[in-house]
Amino acid sequence: MNPPNRIPATHCYTAIHSRIHALSPHATLIAVSKTQPAEYITPLLEAGQRHFGENRVQEAESKWPALRARFAGITLHLIGPLQTNKVKQAVALFDAIHSLDRESLAQALRKEYALQNRQLPLFIQVNTGEEPQKAGIAPAALDDFYHYAAEELGLPVTGLMCIPPAEENPAPHFAWLAHQAARLGLAHLSMGMSGDYETALRLGATHVRIGTALFGERRAVA
Ligand SMILES: *Cc1c(COP(=O)(O)O)cnc(C)c1O
């Protein structure tokens, strides 16, 4: 069901786009379109938005091939956990993966990159709040994992990603992640969502992932 009195996504888009530009002119806005049907995504494409984020491979496969047939130049980011049995589909469909978080996934990606001759840039997801229910590499394991993925396997790791604990001030998490990226020589930082993207941009985010502030509340996931 459509929520009543929906604010058109393009209104929010213009405002958010200019706020991001004012804080960080080169940052990339990823419009998180998970659970949103194509009819809500189309107005953003018409307004010129080209980077989108989805968290489920299957859902993305059902929406994006048709949209790509209508709009050129779309970059699709996988921002949710990736199961190894979905790696083949994910590598074929997406253009970047923000959720590299374990050795088995790194191995599966290396194999699939070779098979498909594709090299999607990767963000290592770090569980900065060390929350047991959350995906991501433990902060203490980041260095070893980075060396494994980037050096031993030769994967194109270009950045770090985090989702700070919902109840905490996100700023120390963003600052910590920015420090680690600088230390490892990684150019990209995927951090900041609807509620905290301005803080993230002030602390060096290069990619902000914004859903509800653009589209309104998400539909319940079936
Ligand atoms: C859903 C989601 C977002 C967007 O969250 P909003 O609060 O709706 O902006 C960003 N990042 C990830 C990883 C998500 O799963």
pLDDT in tens, 74-132: 999 999 999 999 999 999 999 999 999 999 999 999 999 999 999 999 999 999 999 99
Predicted pLDDT at 217: 83
pTM: 0.95
- CA–centroid distance, 193 to ligand 1, in Å, is 6
Q: Is the shortest distance between the CB of 166 and ligand 1 below 6 Å?
A: no
Question: Alpha carbon 3 to chain centroid distance?
Answer: 25
pLDDT digits (tens, 9 = 90+) for 120-163: 999 999 999 999 999 999 999 999 999 999 999 999 999 999 99
Which candidate, 146, 167, 171, 141, places its Cα nearest to that of 156?
A: 146
Q: Is 32 in the pocket of ligand 1 (CB under 6 A)?
A: yes
Contact 112, 88 (CB under 8 A): yes
* Average pLDDT over the chain, rounded to an integer: 94
Tell whether ligand 1 has an atom less than 6 A from the beta carbon of residue 212: yes
In sequence order, what are the residues at sequence separation of 6 or more whose Cβ sits closer than 8 angstroms to the Cβ of residue 217?
3
DSSP string, 154-191: ---EEEEE----TTS-SHHHHHHHHHHHHHHT--EEE-
